[in-house]
Structure 1
Amino acid sequence: MTDWDKGDGDFSYIVGMLMKDGVSVPEGYYYKDIEETDVAIGWIKGRDTADVHSSAHPLTEEAIKENGYKCDKMKWCMELYNCPRYSTPHENGDITLDYYIPINDN
């Protein structure tokens, strides 16, 4: 997950898991509450993982705008490595990356 709202001009990259509200966090671990919001999910397919990852954000953002939504108040975005469609290539060799971007209320 990428956090765009640290206030220092940089973003942070957080590796983690999505959990239900109220789950306890073990000592020494960090957590980030994600406020309830609508999200767009892009399914980015390809054989080259570098290409899939580098194109995920712009392709998902473009699809959001083409469908009449906005994502100009985005505070985070997230890659989700959904197994097995990410970890095990399809018959044609493609993998699928799920890419989440919060969208504005219209």
Structure 2
Amino acid sequence: MYEIVKTYKQAIPAMRFIGNRYGNKDRVNGGFGAKWEEWFAAERFNKLESLVTDEFMNIYEDFNTNVGLMRWKEGEEFEYWIGMFLPEGTVVPEGYEYIDFSDSNLGVCWLHGTEPEIYGKEEQCAEKLSEEGFEIVTDEKGAWWFFERYGCPRFTKPDESGKVILDICHFVK
């Protein structure tokens, strides 16, 4: 069983998300786990990690996290991106794509549980954030952006019961 153990608002600087975009045709058994395995096997995060600057480390506390970024809008194909947030204006390496985000706020939920039970809980986290007074916002085109953030060591080092913490983040006012 999973539980939401913490919610909070986090101000983030303008950033560039660098990674690759996937769609429903890329799902295997309903999810994107196979794409994550490809990323790790090809060491694709190593290239992105080398682009983190000291200044970025000082202005974004979660600089060392792998991210599953999602975009949803009624009537359009769901997008799932794998990558990292990096400093604004970072030069995009060949073979990667990017999205720029202006400075904004996140509503963050910490999901505590085991894999795979912690996955696919974005809607529950949105409901919890709304219950706590956060107003989730869309972009200028009416799309919802949200993401899974795999924080170190919250996600990478299970506790004594084998549970980890996965951050689910929604953009909020």
TM class by shorter chain equals: 0.7 to 0.9
2:123, 2:144 → 1: CA distance? 16
Q: Where in structure 2 are the equivalents of 1:1-106 lying within 5 Å? A: 1-5=69-73, 9-47=76-114, 49-55=115-121, 57-71=122-136, 73=138, 75-103=144-172, 105=173
Residue 8 of structure 1, CA deviation: 5.2
The percentage of aligned residue pairs carrying the same residue is: 29
TM-score (norm 1): 0.82
1:19, 1:37 → 2: CA distance? 15
Deviation string for 1:56-85 (max 9, x for gaps)?
x12311221111122253621110111222
Structure 1 counterpart of 2:161, which letter? N
Q: Gapped runs of 5+ residues in structure 2?
A: 1-68
> Alignment partner of 2:87: what SS?
coil
Structure 1 counterpart of 2:117, which letter? D
Residue 52 of structure 1, CA deviation: 0.3
Tell me the C-alpha RMSD between the 2 structures: 1.9
1:3, 1:34 → 2: CA distance? 13
Q: Gapped runs of 5+ residues in structure 1?
A: none
2:70, 2:120 → 1: CA distance? 14
> Alignment partner of 2:89: what SS?
coil
Stretches of 4+ moved more than 6 A in 1? none
TM-score (norm 2): 0.53
